Amino acid sequence: MKYQAVLFDMDGTVLDTLRDLNAAVNRALAEFGHPQQSLDETRRRVGNGSRRLLELSVPEGTDNAQIDRILAWYLPYYNAHSNDATRPYEGIPELMEALKDEGIPLAVVSNKPDRTVKELSAIHFPGLLEVSVGENEAGGVRRKPWPDTLFAAASALGVEAGDCLYVGDSEVDVLTAARAGMDCASVLWGFRSREELTDAGAKLFFETPGALQNFLLDTGI
């Protein structure tokens, strides 16, 4: 196989987290007297970490101190409710099992808080992932689109970054993979459209986990 490891984004790639994210954002906004947002608004704003999600969700002109307070309320609430409605996308566990059976090491890399990433990975993909890496800027690992999390995952797997494929659903993933020197597989079942991904420079697209599996294992099907 061309790649020695596969790294997956989490939100919109392996897990459909949108409803839990939207519910948590709306609870946080309500707590501070701000208007609610639709599911589609959350979809468009996810991908750059929790703070950026809230920055895009609060009314224009909200100051940084207020955003800090909302974030401090949001993070523990979301962590406690991050699995209320979250589920793997159909075909993702089977994809991971097929790759693992071929001896291909797997990781999840996300801009979610590191604790939440590890918890959700353990719940939904037990025994399938060698590494799960989340946002940990306090620990010196900057969130995407900095390539730090991808480098951290590749290093933990013992694989050179250029020998990994990064699988994601957003323009942030395309940019992060490029900065890490990795090829990027852009999936079309997630939170961004093909047009948005194409505009971001994506070149390799997959409509289903099965199509990605066939590409990776070179079955020719």
Distance of CA 159 to the CA centre of its chain: 20
C-alpha closest to that of 84 among 29, 170, 22? 22
Q: How confident is the model at residue 40 (pLDDT cuts 50, 70, 90)?
A: very high
pLDDT score of 190? 96
Instruction: Look at 51-55, 72-76, 111-115, 146-150 and tell me which has the smallest mean pLDDT.
Output: 111-115
pLDDT of 220 > 70? The answer is: no
Q: Is 65 exposed, middle or buried (0-12, 13-18, 19+ CB in 10 A)?
A: exposed
Structural domains counted in the chain: 2
84 is catalytic: no
DSSP 181: T
Cα 182 from Cα 186, distance rounded (Å):
12
Cα 150 from Cα 180, distance rounded (Å):
7
User: Is residue 174 within 8 Å of residue 200, measured between CB atoms?
Assistant: yes
Whether residue 145 is preceded by a cis peptide bond, meaning omega within 30 degrees of 0, is: yes
Paired strand residues for 186: 168, 205
Cα 135 from Cα 142, distance rounded (Å):
7
| CATH number of the domain bearing residue 46 | 1.10.150.240
In which domain, by residue range, is 45 found?
18-81
Single pTM value for the model: 0.92
* Assigned token pair, 112: 């979610």
Residues 96 and 75 in one domain: no
Residues 72 and 109 in one domain: no
| CATH number of the domain bearing residue 179 | 3.40.50.1000
Residues 65 and 135 in one domain: no
Catalytic annotation, pick one of 9, 20, 148, 169: 9
